[in-house]
Amino acid sequence: MSVSVAPIHKKKSWKRKSARLEREDEGAGPSQGEEEEEEELVNETETTRSLSLSELRDMRKDFSRHPGEHIVTWLLRCWDSGASSLELEGKEAKQLGSLSRGGGIDKAIGKGEPARSLWRRLLSAMKERYPFKEDVVYRPGKWTTMEKGIQYLRELAVLEVIYVDLNDVRSAIDPDEVQCTRPMWRKLVQNALLSCANSLAILTWKDRDGPTVNEAASNLREYEESISSSFVSAVRELSQEFKRFKEDLSYSLPIRTSVSAIRSQRSSAQERGYRG
């Protein structure tokens, strides 16, 4: 049992030099001009290797959907695990067995004999199983950290990638390179906690075209860092104020003690006067 993986490129290169010599009259300028050009020719050969049984088992483990894992989350994990770098023929893809835990999708993954990346096979199988984007039910809960918010945004990008034209080589199939549209941003804000939603709602981009998901993720991390820095500064300032308050309090204690002692002495004198 074997499966082809991404082609291994072996390059053989050599250099060819060409020289051009130009002569001019002595009165016209330099007596001799020389120009040398260098060109590198590359001969690239492509070979494939086969996976061993242990490698195939590891591959199943890496790309199998976990119990209870949402199908969109699973797809993003496959992308992050390198599904786009694995070239598989149809019969080889079938040898991976049940990856999605869904018979219809697993059957579609093995369709088509020409070699294609596992990522393209997964996207094609999803589109065959769910012809319309609305067919994929995806309602995650509120995200509570910025990293979970970025994860949610990337999963929204996976939904977009499923329904691009896979036959068009210009189509973006990298979730991180998908344009972050306003509807996607709106969903991100709506699924944020109220404390984050109010701040994110006012964030926008100047250009007509939105940033890529990767750029939006970078902006979110920068925003979180700025918020964290402001919080740390506020805590530091509060700590300094509390320290000053304690110092002021310590200075006022001896005065209060002296006043109490004077009052005590007066009370004692008055008591002795009454007794006399």
- Residues 268-273 have a mean pLDDT of 55
- Residues 161-174 have a mean pLDDT of 90
pLDDT at 20 over 70: no
What's the CA gap between 99 and 101, in Å, rounded? 6
Convert the pLDDT of each residue in 85-116 to its tens digit.
Answer: 988 888 888 888 889 988 789 999 989 888 89
Mean pLDDT lowest among 11-20, 48-57, 216-225? 11-20
- Residues 210-231 have a mean pLDDT of 83
pLDDT at 160 over 80: yes
Q: How far is CA 128 from CA 11, 107, 134, 241, in A?
A: 38, 10, 13, 64
In the chain, how long is the greatest CA-to-CA distance? Answer: 136
- Residues 192-215 have a mean pLDDT of 79
Confidence of residue 13 (pLDDT cuts 50, 70, 90): very low
- Residues 247-272 have a mean pLDDT of 56
pLDDT at 139: 87
Residue with more model confidence, 147 or 9: 147
Confidence of residue 17 (pLDDT cuts 50, 70, 90): very low
What's the CA gap between 166 and 19, in Å, rounded? 47
- Residues 123-150 have a mean pLDDT of 92
pLDDT at 33 over 90: no
Residue with more model confidence, 195 or 67: 67
Convert the pLDDT of each residue in 229-250 to its tens digit.
Answer: 554 444 455 555 556 655 666 6
What's the CA gap between 121 and 63, in Å, rounded? 13
Closest alpha carbon to 86 in 120, 53, 112:
120
pLDDT at 1 over 70: no
pLDDT above 70 as % of the chain: 61
Q: Token digits for 142?
A: 């509120």
pLDDT at 59: 82
Mean pLDDT lowest among 23-27, 69-73, 194-198, 242-246? 23-27
